[in-house]
Amino acid sequence: MSLVQRALSGDYPRSRVLAVALLLILVGLALAPFVFPGTRSLNVAAKVCVFILLVASYDLLLGYTGIVSFAHTMFFGIGAYGIAIAATKLGPTWGSLALGCVAALLCSVVLSLVIGLLSLRVKTIFFAMITLAVASFFSILASQLSDFTGGEDGLTFKLPVSLAPGTKLLETAVFGVEINGKVLSYYIVFFGALFLFLALLRIVNSPFGRVLQAIRENDFRAEAIGYRGVVYRSVANCLSALAATAAGILYAIWLRYAGPDTTLSLDIMIDILLMVVIGGMGTMYGAAIGATLFIIAQNYLQDLMKLGTDAAAGIPLLPNLIHPDRWLLWLGILFILSVYYFPTGIVGRLRGVK
């Protein structure tokens, strides 16, 4: 078995168009510091890496297991706050970061296990309501415990010196780019997200993943042949929470900040749902496509509309219609069109194109 076969766990794109799209995303993100060296573009690339992992972890629940949860941003926030609190209270050392990571992961797995065992026996809509209530409580708690979390302002913290933007790691530039702590931070985010994404891909293509899909399709038949649905759903909930926590850790390392607006907001949960639907539920590759397209549109659609407004100057109504302030309207229209023309997501449609 080749290295590519092992990495993809035998789950090939099954479409040349999709394979090319995924390869372009991988190469673009891998070479982002050299191809897109600007601060803004590198921030977008890092966010794409984090959200590919975050969306993939949520698709493990929604797409592969059929569980609707609104607590995913809570685990995302636990990861970010775990790193931030450890670095703030114990200092910017590798040891404190490791302790923050371990504490955040342990907290997430215990919390997700408790939520799963107590709630996954009920019907889907009730589980969704329970997770929404828990996530709302955690968000309020993060805002109220200002001594630990910084309240509404969040926590800005320092990282080890080797990750500081001003730290030069190499004396000479590589392809005209200075290799510093910022570049190292980016590659920690990139390789961390890539490794965990491939781990999730392995999970869904394992016998365990096949059972999850069987439970999603027909819970009663899965129970009849000996698979306890609540146990498998609880394990899936824990694995998804751990991956979301890891995404929060990577995001906090990149931003050097953790706050309610960047990790715990309900808007982020809605964005995750949109990315899953756009990319295609029940396929890890959908997370890569959906997150990449959504975040690029979120960051650059206004710029494109501004260019269109300038080009359409003098034409009645059109400049006002495509004014940059209306970018959310057009983003919504693009989402509606994508759902209408790609009911199985972009990946589902591309897999029908050879």
Q: Greatest CA separation found in the chain?
A: 69
Only one residue has tokens 């993809």, namely: 8
pLDDT value at 1 more than 60: no
Tokens of 163: 């990750």
User: Could you tell me which residues come within 8 angstroms of residue 331 by beta carbon, excluding any fewer than 6 positions away?
Assistant: 297, 298, 301
- pTM (predicted TM-score): 0.93
Q: What is the structure's pLDDT at 348?
A: 85
d(CA 1, CA 5): 6
Q: How does pLDDT run across 198-226, given as a tens digit for each residue? A: 999 999 999 999 999 988 888 888 888 88
Whole-number average pLDDT of the chain: 87
Own/partner contacts of 229-235, CB < 8 Å, gap of 24 or more, are 230/116, 230/117, 230/120, 230/121, 232/65, 232/208, 233/65, 233/67, 233/116, 233/120, 234/113, 234/116, 234/117, 234/120, 235/208
Q: How does pLDDT run across 21-71, given as a tens digit for each residue? A: 999 999 999 999 998 878 889 999 999 999 999 999 999 999 898 888 888
Q: How does pLDDT run across 96-140, given as a tens digit for each residue? A: 999 999 999 999 999 998 888 777 666 667 778 888 888 888 888
Q: What is the structure's pLDDT at 124?
A: 67
Q: What is the structure's pLDDT at 131?
A: 87
Q: How does pLDDT run across 241-252, given as a tens digit for each residue? A: 999 999 999 999
Return the closest-CA partner of residue 25 out of 351, 292, 271.
292
Only one residue has tokens 């900040």, namely: 257
C-alpha 97: how far from chain center:
21
pLDDT value at 143 more than 80: yes
Return the closest-CA partner of residue 336 out of 277, 258, 290, 296.
277
Catalogue all structural domains in the chain, each as residue range(s) with its CATH number.
Answer: 3-350 (1.10.3470)
